[in-house]
Structure 1
Amino acid sequence: MNAHVVEDPSGLTPEWLSAALGAEVTAVSWERVGSGQIGACYRLTLEGGQGVPRRLVAKLAAEDPAARAFLGPAYRAEVSFYRDLAATVAARTPRCHYSALADDHTTFVLLLEDLSPAVQGDQIAGCTPGQAAGAVANLAGLHGPRWCDPTLLDLPWLSAVGEEDATTLGEVFGPAVDTFVERFADRLPAADVRTLRQVADRVAAWVVGRPERFGLVHGDYRLDNLLFAAPPEEGVTAVDWQTLSIGHPLRDLAFFLATGLRPEDRPVHERTLVETYHTALTRYGVDDYDLGECLEDYRFAAVQGPLITVLGCVYGTRTERGDTMFLTMTTRSCAAIRELGTLDLI
């Protein structure tokens, strides 16, 4: 039994869903959820026989056909994560009921567990230290089980950054910083401008630095991509796996804490949160990596903040909320880089 890829929600018929789920679906209704810049998400309400979930989230390709050609690698990464890796890690992710990817990678379908009433994080508002603790423990569940696992390099869809890629990144990031600084000239503090330009000078060396530790990197592990269970339930679920790669795992940790914690909370709580993450790592058998090494790698990895936010801002679809979010994330992460002495480690 094999359901084909559909390009829009009109294809999510009872017949198609029955084939995808292997159970009879008699009726379905859907509503659009999320902003849909990279893909389009729909909440489905289903009726049917035994084995049919009452609600699912369907994730499809972007509505703009012109955008799909550029997003093929992201679609391939997300579908492949659920197929090849989700069961091998301990991070909480939505259960995937069905996945399909077109041969040219420009269209895809994921039928995912609907985690409502879990609440999406708010990148602009930031999170509490308690919420951060749950998020970093979940992150250790992504990194720990496949820590320095050489078999990750055998997956054809999963890539690590090489020297040539690093050179290209250095050539691209400098002009992106110029565009970012120009866009926010009246809102970006001079100290942050200096930090961004210093990062641009070092980013090529940074991105291939410390190769002795590697693993799965979510790449965009931030509050907007996390769902927090509604009380009294506990737990954090990570979504949006389009940016998955191989790299230094601490990039995810530094990115999350530097951009997600409020400026007044990060300096007070970040060491404890790194310790929480490190303790969780040891539960997955990572026993040759001491806390001191983890703390220094955390400092080193903080460049992930401006790297992701500047590129996301400059090359993504511009929105009012997006501008506020990227500026907020950049100022938080630049402050972290200065306070942690990150650039001295590159």
Structure 2
Amino acid sequence: MQYAIADSHSDILVNRLHDFTVPWAQRIIERHCRETRVKNLEMISADIGTTTRVRLMVEHDGPEALPRRWFVKIPSLAWRARLITALPRLLHVETRFYRDIAHAVPLNRPVLLAAQSRFGKGATLVLSDVAESGALPGRTGEALSLSQATAVIEHLARFHAAFWGIQCDSNYRWLGGPIRRLEDRLGTLMAVPLMRLGLEKADGAVPGHLHGPALAYARRRRRIMRFLHSGRQTLIHRDCHPGNFFWNGSNPGLLDWQLVRIGEGIADIAYFLATALEPETRRSHERSLLEHYRHSLAAHGIADTRPETLWQRYRAHLSYPFEAMVVTLAVGGMMEEEANLAMIRRAASAISDLEGFAALADA
């Protein structure tokens, strides 16, 4: 079910927790069922990270199909996270994703209730809470089982196949436009100091033999990003760690589309396997999981992927989840630290085992 989004004349923007009021919820409800009245609003939780994520219980007299558990994303109330995410306008990107693209994505996703984005004013995204349908949100840093990993690989293959060969035409130009270029420039500008700080804070989570190659990667980041972007293009999530999934039984769905972009599908697979699987599980099954991804793509009409090329691109793309986790630790306040460290250990193990930095020699 897809509901209408708020337009520019119906202000639903929220920047503080005390702005969640019954009149605010009423403005959203009236977009969908004008006769429905909101009776009460209760804040269940507020989690502050790269964004502030708020769970609400909204009591109303509308139809059963109109969600009563809401999940709302607003700009982060943590100043460091807000500074990092404000310039590349990450929440604005996610808002536009739900407005313009989500309906075409063949993955489980929450119901969109309202979305609004204004330059200089912030963005607010209102979704149904996945708990409304009995689904369970993933936990950041948790290790997934082989059966869960297999299900995710199948779903990502279907998602990538749906957008295979996508071009930055008028419908998708914003995915690679000024915002993304600014994000890449900021990432490159801050790569060395943040990598150095992250490695210091990670302490024993990153083996010493990786420190030199990691800093060399940071110094060459701009060229490496171009190399990693040179494969066959599709739509990618680019943040496939365990905390961004939810589970309806054994079926996964994806949350947090702030980093969505046009890129190479194997990038999502590398990010997922590097952050979600314990090293023993990954070592035993990553070859077969990549082959499963290739066969799943073929089942959806994409038959031009060669096993050895896929493997080499997978090795190269392991560099980004490693960077992302180390930089997240360096910035601080964006993720629960123990979960962050657990994923750093996994990503470090993956890039070490497969000599991922060496796979970037041609960049």
Task: Say whether the fold is shared (TM-score over 0.5).
Answer: yes
The answer as to 2:89 corresponding to 1:78 is no
Q: What SS does the aligned partner of 1:42 have?
A: strand
CA distance in 2, matches of 1:105, 1:152: 28
CA distance in 2, matches of 1:169, 1:155: 22
Equivalent residue, structure 2, for 1:227: 246
- Contact 2:130/2:137, CA 8 A, preserved across alignment: no
Q: What SS does the aligned partner of 1:333 have?
A: helix
Residue 312 of structure 1 and its aligned partner are, at CA, apart by 1.7
Distance 1:308 1:155, change over 3 A: same
Residue 187 of structure 1 and its aligned partner are, at CA, apart by 5.2
Equivalent residue, structure 2, for 1:126: 143
Distance 1:308 1:184, change over 3 A: closer
Letter of the 1:9 counterpart: F
Matches within 5 A, 1:1-346: 3-7=10-14, 8-10=19-21, 13=24, 15-23=26-34, 24-33=36-45, 35-37=47-49, 38-50=51-63, 52-62=65-75, 64=77, 70-71=85-86, 73-104=89-120, 106-116=122-132, 117-151=134-168, 154-159=171-176, 169-185=187-203, 188-210=206-228, 211-229=230-248, 233-317=249-333, 321-322=336-337, 324-346=338-360
CA distance in 1, matches of 2:183, 2:55: 35
Letter of the 2:218 counterpart: A
More divergent stretch after superposition (72-81 vs 98-107): 98-107
More divergent stretch after superposition (238-247 vs 286-295): 286-295
- Contact 1:177/1:310, CA 8 A, preserved across alignment: yes
CA RMSD for the aligned pairs? 3.0
Distance 1:60 1:197, change over 3 A: closer
CA distance in 1, matches of 2:334, 2:139: 18
Residue 173 of structure 1 and its aligned partner are, at CA, apart by 1.4
Cα deviation 1:34-88 (Å, max 9, x = unaligned): 5222123223233223365242323141363967675361121111111111122
More divergent stretch after superposition (41-50 vs 166-175): 166-175
CA distance in 2, matches of 1:91, 1:105: 30
CA distance in 1, matches of 2:45, 2:254: 17
TM-score by length of 1: 0.86
- Contact 2:71/2:126, CA 8 A, preserved across alignment: yes
Letter of the 1:47 counterpart: H
Letter of the 1:59 counterpart: V
CA distance in 2, matches of 1:312, 1:12: 36
TM-score by length of 2: 0.82
Q: What SS does the aligned partner of 2:235 have?
A: strand
**Unaligned residue ranges in structure 2 (runs of 5+):** 1-5
- Contact 2:206/2:344, CA 8 A, preserved across alignment: no
Distance 1:46 1:292, change over 3 A: farther
CA distance in 2, matches of 1:79, 1:294: 32
CA distance in 1, matches of 2:92, 2:235: 16
Across the two proteins, how many residue pairs are aligned to each other?
341
Cα deviation 1:228-257 (Å, max 9, x = unaligned): 22xxx3300110111112222221110110
- Contact 1:40/1:59, CA 8 A, preserved across alignment: yes
Distance 1:136 1:326, change over 3 A: same
Q: What SS does the aligned partner of 2:53 have?
A: strand
Residue 25 of structure 1 and its aligned partner are, at CA, apart by 3.2
